[in-house]
Structure 1
Amino acid sequence: MHVQNWDDYRFVAVLARTGSLAETSRLLGVDRSTVQRRVKALETRLGYSLFLRNGSHYEPLAEAQPILAAARSLESAISTAPAPADGETLAGNLSITTTDSIYMSGVSEMIDAFQALHPSLRLNLSVTTRRLALDQLEADVAIRPSDSPPDHFIGRRVCDLAFGVFASHSYVAQNAGLRRDEHAWLTVSDDMSNSPPGRWIDAHVPKDRRVLRADTFIAIAEACRLGRGVALLPKSYAARLPELVALDHLMDAPHATGLWLLTHPDMRNNPRVRAFLDFIGRQLSTRKKHFAG
């Protein structure tokens, strides 16, 4: 039996163990549709069904047993593989990518603390908003905001990343009482239009009120700080800019996406990658409230 993507075994194994899409998605840090797609993809390649669905419960069929045996062997091998402790010596290169606003929201200090624990490790940091290319191994690890990252990456949603509307004190003083559609808006450029904040802007801000567009939140926040208009920004980054004030009344409801730790399946057992994911995952988990606003 040949299966092109061995990571699909993991989805089958967890679903068989829990019997629930909701619990499987929670444990694996993905949404339910991702679990369904991965299991369906494996069933399609095999040519037969692996589960009997009874309401919301998934019962593995007899045909699934060889798959489950292989999946359990893989899980066992992964769980018993040694992972370096925080103080253990690691050497070599580790490539990390994140966005500018995430990096400047506290992740820079986390990465610095990790490198202090592993001074022999050389870090290559890419701070960019461009589309992830982990599938081409351009980076070993990504710390990225996303509603639903691509299926061929693995990782987990660590916490929510909340957004809010902000403006400078001077702008607010000069434009008090304006409706949302009367403000001057500083927004993301076309290459970020399909991001969660880009979709919020498209749904709530008239095009003729968008006076500046930029491809990074750092640039948008700087124009906001200078009083050019209002902007939708990550709350974790805006909190570091004392010149800005929150304008929550311009939002109909809270807006958030997920903050994810991602890697390529081929890299997940690399000692450098595992050490970084474990360390940064713990750090982010302790600061969930900071990122969730």
Structure 2
Amino acid sequence: MRSRDMQATLRQDPVGSHPRAVGRSGRCTRTPRPPPTVGDVESLGAFLKSRRDRVTPALVGLRTHGSARRVPGLRREELAQLAGVSAGYYTRLEQGQAESASAQVLDALARALQLDGVETAHLHNLARQPSGGRLSEPPPEDPHPRVLALLQALGDTPAIVLGRRGDVLAWNRAGHALRAEHVDFEAPADPDRRPSVPRMFFLDPLTRDMHRNWSEVARAHIAFLRLTAGRYPTDARLAELIGELSMRSPEFATMWAEGEVADCTVGTMELRHPTVGDASVTYQVWLQPDSPDHRLEIYTPDDPASADALQVLVGGW
């Protein structure tokens, strides 16, 4: 890897021009509100309803006899029948009035709703959430030394290390140049200044303009955030992030309400990079055994023109 300092080659925007795209959200004086609790981000009932709404009777082989329907998908009693539970019990479960649901019941609901493996795991995660539990400050995230050594060994291959909430914990020079050359290269070293990829996607115009398939990639970020919220329901910083984006980005709020959940480990980014122009790259996520919450994301070109663009990018520092 070249050792020239990238700072001289970066296009620097005015200080303070992107105050909310990185780090934690700002604070101001406002009327005190009750502290958020587990389930404020998403409840078991809300997820069940969102999945029920997308399953039509025809999809599961139910006859409707031509009667008018007031719901977009299955009725509660229809889903209960398919899952082999009473309509009253399912109604209480969706309304948050049932104390618990067994793994067998959850699996039956997942089959009736035609959930995939990731959605089924998310359903089980939501069912294990403590009712009315308090959020807590999570422990600090630090990349494992072996991950940093691997990052260094990748040389000119762009790569970044992401934490559970999408914070950039580390990046190599090529990864920084590809993903966010307008952000201070040293920012990931400071936990309070770490770039937040979800915030950048929805609150930073430069990041949005750089992605030609912004909507597709943005939905992938939301789907993974939802999965993470099910895994870590007491994470106060995660709840803060989702709440902030819901309030400040109507597009985030709309996409979040769709209820999609996925473990996005591979995909394509169609870029219009401010330095090298159009490029198409594939991202691949490698999970880390020493720190399973952390994801090493590596970017490879999809075609010769994109490969040339990446060579020009890394050749500039």
Q: In proportion to residue count, which structure has more strand? A: 1
TM-score by length of 2: 0.26
TM-score by length of 1: 0.28
